[in-house]
Amino acid sequence: MSDGIKTFDELPRPAPGSSAAAGDARSTPRAVPLVGVIRNRRSYRNRGREQGAAPGADVIVETTTKRRELFGVLDSFAAKGVDYLAISGGDGTVRDVLTCGAAIFGDDWPTLIVLPKGKTNALAADIGAPDHWSLASAMESARAGRSVTRCPLIVSEAADPQSRVQGFLLGGGVFHRTIRLGQDAHRWGAFNAAAVGLTAAWALGQALLAGNDNPWRQRSLLRITLPGNEPLPGGDQRYVMIASTLENFPLGLKPFGDLREGLKASVLDTAARRSLLRLPLVAIGRRNRESGYHCFAADCFGFETDEPFILDGEAFPPGNYRVSTGPSLTFVAP
């Protein structure tokens, strides 16, 4: 996560007519598959390392450092009709590729490969990709026909539905402060599941021991509306919200209880110590039936917040937003 807050008008947009006919370019099967690799040079495990080869495949590697470079790279890949699109980076890199590629590929993406090279790799963990997974190993899995499908979630501004980002893990309320705390965990040398565990334990301890005026116990505006513009019970001030389309989480966590497929959300209204003490049980799937805890699945929902929200590790500004389900994407699985 960067220190700044990314506004929606900073997101690069394609020039009119710039996108390629992606599906048409892939219409003729190849004897040797063509793989386009987007490699984020700044990702934690990419620093000082070169992209590995993949025997039995033609590979095009494009190294990027800025989000605005992605449109040109993805448009070029679409024009060439790549059979596989590999993303070498962390969750933030995946989010940027999906966001920028939406205008190019629409609902017709090539098969995706996630190479977990970031400090956080929740999507890779969800589909079972190990930390050491290489492009060569991924192509062996592709030839064996191993794959899973996932739909990203789309966050769009209520006033401008065309201004949108795509990702997999959304958080509001105290989640913003918790993710910032996670940056300290990275500096201490904790990544992925270790960082999740350390950050969650530290944040919960702060909230339990702090006084009522401490930021770790403060609620914020989170006005949540369900389909049909029906307000979520519990008022407008809430403690934390998380939403995701992922199905498997680090450390075996089940923040949405038995809900697995599709878009789902969990919301905690209050920072009362009784509720906080139950959070570890909620996190492992023991759903809280007490007032003040909500868990729901929906094709879409809205939220308005007066604090930044987090999407795959990056902060976006307060505002009024709509969350919906994106296209079905196929990922190579181990």
Residue 318: HSE in the Cβ half-sphere, 13 Å Cα cutoff: 8
Q: Are 100 and 71 in contact (CB under 8 A)?
A: yes
Q: What is the mean pLDDT of residues 74-98?
A: 95
Residues pairing with 59 in the sheet = 35
3-class DSSP assignment, residue 271: coil
Q: What is the mean pLDDT of the chain?
A: 83
pLDDT score recorded for residue 208: 66
Name which of 146, 286, 119, 276 is nearest 208 in CA terms. 276
Residue 189 pLDDT class (50, 70, 90 cuts): very low
CA 145 from centroid of its chain's CA atoms? 25
Max Cα–Cα distance, the chain, nearest Å: 65
Characterize the bridge pairing of strands 111-116 and 58-64.
Answer: unpaired
Q: How far is CA 321 from CA 64, 174, 332, in A?
A: 29, 18, 31
Token pair belonging to 6:
């990314």
Characterize the bridge pairing of strands 329-332 and 153-157.
Answer: unpaired
- Write the pLDDT tens digit of every residue in 1-11: 344 556 666 66
What's the rounded Cα separation, in Å, for the pair 169 and 249?
11
E strand or H helix at 149, and its extent? strand 147-150
8-state DSSP, 64? E
pLDDT score recorded for residue 102: 94
- Write the pLDDT tens digit of every residue in 252-296: 888 898 899 999 999 999 877 777 777 777 777 776 666 689 999
Q: What are phi and psi of 14, to 5 degrees?
A: -70, 150
The number of beta carbons lying within 10 Å of the beta carbon of residue 228 is 5
Kindly list the structural domains of the chain, giving each domain's residue range(s) and its CATH number in brackets, ordered by start. 8-150 (3.40.50.10330), 169-311 (2.60.200)
21 or 112: whose pLDDT is higher? Answer: 112
The residue with tokens 């919200």 is: 241
